[in-house]
Amino acid sequence: MDPRGGALLVAGTTSDAGKSMVVAGLCRALRRKGIRVAPFKAQNMSNNSAVTVDGGEIGRAQAMQARAAGLAPSVRFNPILLKPGSDRSSQLVVRGVVAGTVRAGDYFTHRDHLSRVVAEDLSSLRSEFDAVICEGAGSPAEINLRATDLANMGLARAAGLPVIVVGDIDRGGLLAHLFGTLAVLEPEDQALIAGFVVNKFRGDPGLLSPGLQRLAELTGRPTYGVLPFADDLWLDTEDSLSVVANRVIGIPRPPRGSQRLRVAAVRLPRLSNSTDVEALACEPGVQVRWVSDPAALADADVVVLPGSKATVSDLDWLRSRGLADGVAEHAAAGGTVLGVCGGFQMLCRRIEDSVESRSGRVDGLGLIDADIEFAEVKTLAHHEDPLSGYEIHHGQVTRCEAEDWLGVGVRRGGVFGTHWHGLLDNNAVRRRWLTEAAAAAGLRDFVVADDTDVPAARDAQIDLMADLVTAHLDLRAVLGLLDGGGAPPRPVIESRTVSRLVGNLET
């Protein structure tokens, strides 16, 4: 009998299908049962990252899942992180440390080394915990990437993991997605697919039952549960698909006074750590909207320039869209501007970058009298006392004539800049800053709530997902998968069936 803890893989029909939250919910639900559980994502591609307590960098979703499991974030939970800097290249982070830049075409040369890293870290976790809940990446049906796959069926095959496929029914076409995901896989991969989970369902479950019954007949696999849509599940978004221009973030709450504060967060092409502005969206009477054109700045009380994985490139985009002028005009009129990490760097006078973009000296927006120079070694820092937050940046402040802000940033009048992510999760800091921003906007009857607790809200979301998983999934069957038993027969959908369907389409 295998002395290691059980493990399973939660895959998805698409990106943003809900894999991250299902894994978090399972981790919290199993922890409630006294099971020692850990999350694992072999390879993540995301610019939303977090810093572990030992100074490594992992995907933010894995830090959230660690919290769900009652653990401190560890680089073992996400040994490989790809941070896209352009459409064809990404920064490669291995076990929390930058290992270089890779292009999509040459990633195959790294596969053997990276697969060993993944195998070692998963084995280490399984030797320490009762259960490891693994998260896939994108979709296992991306068969064009199967040869280099480390996070989906490549991981499942290598480690012998049963796989649950999650699909977002809110997008439509889910039953075809579930069937098709299974059908295009190789027989050896199909054999590992244990069943399905329907996510984000609205309406009468009875209307879905005939479809799920037919899906079971076609595939020989059960659906382990149907998770209902929940409006409150919007914090800690992992995928850029969730960050859409002209969309309001979260569910705006009624104001405590008679006035609202309007926040325009610029949706940069290489946006990173988009979760920073979620803290503002938690506040009653604060409406936060992602924007991508200067007209959207006209009625904003506050403008936020968030982090970026490509500061100089996104600064060029800002200028080409007319947003740079819009931000400057907003600041000149006495409006509040906040730049976080890459956004802060854009606000400065000069940027010297021979590392990220290799553009050399570039003029910034000049709204903060400071200069930035990119260093080869990335700053990774986790802060807890007296303020919590974390830093992930190559850019360093080399000259600054601006006023200090809280010891973690600078300001020039109503223009604020900091390299700290998560600063606005500090409740006292956020309330004080919002009070000042509302005053600058002339909002005399905007009332800052004294009972909004953002860290508690993030934790409550995990509890909600665990409640949904407990109420709507067959947890006994899931635990059976972890134990290596109780899995239903897993027949193969013959490739000729798919070939015949494709042939019919072509004719």
Q: Which helix (H) or strand (E) holds 397?
A: strand 389-400
Secondary structure (3-state) at 184: coil
Alpha-carbon distance values, 107 to 8, 42, 76, 83 (Å): 26, 15, 21, 14
Structural domains of the chain ordered from first start? 6-229+474-506 (3.40.50.300), 243-455 (3.40.50.880)
Backbone angles phi, psi at 401, to 5 degrees: -110, 10
Instruction: Out of 341, 382, 393, 394, pick the active-site residue.
Output: 341
pLDDT band at 3 (very low <50, low <70, confident <90, very high): low
Cα–Cα dist 388/14, whole Å? 33
Which helix (H) or strand (E) element contains residue 324?
helix 323-332
Q: In one letter, which amino acid is 312?
A: V
- The residue among 300 and 46 whose pLDDT is bigger is 300
Threshold 0.85, pTM exceeds: yes
Average pLDDT estimate for 203-212: 91
The catalytic position among 110, 177, 394, 421 is 421
What is the mean pLDDT of the segment spanning 271-290?
Answer: 94
Answer yes or no: are the C-beta atoms of 199 and 227 closer than 8 Å: yes
pLDDT value at residue 504: 45
Residues 287, 291, 296, 299: is their CA dihedral positive or negative? Answer: positive
State mean pLDDT over 32-41.
96
Backbone φ and ψ of 303, nearest 5°: -115, 130
**DSSP sequence for 115-173:** HHHHHHHHHHHHHH-SEEEEE--S-TT-GGGGGG-SSSHHHHHHHT--EEEEEEGGGS-
What angle in degrees, to the nearest 10, is found between the helix axes of 454-472 and 427-440? 120
Query: Is the confidence at residue 501, as pLDDT, over 60?
Result: no
Flag whether pLDDT at 136 surpasses 70: yes
Is the model's pLDDT at 487 over the cut of 50?
A: no
- 341 noted as active-site residue: yes
Angle formed at CA 61 by CA 56 and CA 66, multiple of 5 degrees? 70
pLDDT at 505: 41
Output the average pLDDT for the chain.
Answer: 91
Q: Which of 101-115, 393-407, 435-449 has the lowest mean pLDDT?
A: 101-115
Q: What is the pLDDT of residue 502?
A: 42
- The whole-number average pLDDT for the span 307-331 is 96
pLDDT digits (tens, 9 = 90+) for 78-126: 999 998 877 678 889 999 998 888 876 666 677 889 999 999 999 999 9
Closest CA relative to residue 348, chosen from 399, 385, 382: 399
Interval 279-294 mean pLDDT: 95
DSSP labels, 441-493:
TT-TT----SS--HHHHHHHHHHHHHHHHHHHB-HHHHHHHHTT--PPP----
In the predicted model, is pLDDT for residue 503 greater than 80? Answer: no
Q: How far apart are CA 228 and CA 37, in angstroms?
A: 24
Residue 507: pLDDT band (50, 70, 90) is very low
* 400 catalytic residue (yes or no): no
Q: Which of 301, 283, 280, 300 shows the shortest CA–CA distance to 291? A: 300
Question: Cα(431)–Cα(154) distance, rounded to whole angstroms?
Answer: 47
Report the pLDDT value the prediction gives residue 30, as an integer from 0 to 100: 96
pLDDT of residue 506: 41
**In this model, does residue 164 exceed pLDDT 90?**
yes
Beta bridge partners of 10: 135, 164
Distance between CA atoms of residues 307 and 384, nearest Å: 20
Sheet holding 37-40, edge to edge: 37-40, 131-135, 6-12, 163-168, 193-201, 223-228
Q: Is 379 exposed, middle or buried (0-12, 13-18, 19+ CB in 10 A)?
A: middle
**CA 39 – CA 63 distance, rounded (Å):** 9
What pLDDT does residue 112 have? 86
The closest alpha carbon to 11, from 205, 170, 177, belongs to 177
Which band of pLDDT confidence, cut at 50, 70 and 90, is reported for residue 158? very high
pLDDT of residue 337: 98
- 261: Cα separation from own chain's centroid: 26
Q: Which of 3-17, 235-249, 350-364 has the highest mean pLDDT?
A: 350-364
Query: pLDDT at position 101, please?
Result: 85
